[in-house]
């Protein structure tokens, strides 16, 4: 396991460049998806919390007095509309999907980083299967991008 034989210096640099590119792209996608996960999660709790508060206020208003029936009905309709929006947006499902997609990109990033940290110094790996491993990471990237688009 040598680290600087002349016949593998150039391949080492090109494999390193490819792995750094994959790692950085995976990290960027992970960050974007994690932000999307947090936004969908916030929307889920905001809409759900608002629907619960509106329903509770509606019930309290309707039970408090006869004159409160019309405001209670308006609040109940609003609560139903907010609940409908929460269902329509499927924010909980979307947040979990984004979280899983973010985790998949973390795996790609970690695999590329592992190759940079551990395998890149191995001349045998460089000359035998480095490009196959890089190609496998690129295929995983393509699959994940296709999943995002689909």
How many domains does the chain divide into? 1
How far is the C-alpha of 16 from the C-alpha of 20, rounded, in Å?
Answer: 6
CB atoms within 10 A of CB 15: 21
How far is the C-alpha of 86 from the C-alpha of 80, rounded, in Å?
Answer: 10
Confidence of residue 63 (pLDDT cuts 50, 70, 90): confident
Asked whether residue 3 is domain-assigned, the answer is no
Confidence of residue 146 (pLDDT cuts 50, 70, 90): very high
Q: Over the chain, what is the mean pLDDT?
A: 90
38 close to 107: Cβ distance less than 8 angstroms: no
Asked whether residue 2 is domain-assigned, the answer is no
Asked whether residue 1 is domain-assigned, the answer is no
Q: Which helix (H) or strand (E) holds 65?
A: none
Mean pLDDT, range 116-125, rounded to an integer: 94
How far is the C-alpha of 38 from the C-alpha of 43, rounded, in Å?
Answer: 9
Global pTM reads: 0.77
Mean pLDDT, range 82-86, rounded to an integer: 90
pLDDT digits (tens, 9 = 90+) for 96-115: 999 999 999 999 999 999 99
Ranges 61-65, 116-120, 127-131: which has the least confidence: 61-65
**What confidence score (pLDDT) does residue 47 get?**
92
Q: Token digits for 80?
A: 């139903």
In which domain, by residue range, is 46 found? 8-149
**What confidence score (pLDDT) does residue 35 get?**
97
**What confidence score (pLDDT) does residue 69 get?**
87
User: What is the torsional sign of CA 96, 97, 102, 105?
Assistant: positive
Orientation angle between helical segments 6-64 and 69-89, nearest 10 degrees: 160
């Amino acid at each position: 396991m040598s680290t600087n034989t002349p016949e593998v210096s150039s391949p080492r640099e090109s494999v390193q460049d490819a792995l750094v590119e994959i790692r950085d792209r995976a990290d960027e996608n992970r960050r974007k998806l994690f932000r999307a996960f947090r936004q969908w999660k916030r929307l889920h709790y905001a809409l759900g919390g608002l629907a619960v508060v509106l329903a509770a206020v509606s019930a309290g208003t309707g039970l408090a007095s006869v004159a409160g029936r019309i405001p209670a009905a308006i609040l109940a309709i609003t609560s139903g509309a907010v609940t409908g929006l929460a269902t329509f947006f499927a924010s909980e499902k979307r947040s979990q999907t984004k979280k899983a997609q973010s985790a998949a990109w973390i795996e790609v990033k970690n695999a590329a980083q592992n190759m940079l940290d551990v395998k890149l110094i191995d001349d045998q790996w460089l000359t035998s299967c480095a490009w196959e491993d890089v190609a496998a990471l690129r295929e995983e990237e393509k699959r994940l991008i296709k999943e995002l688009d689909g």
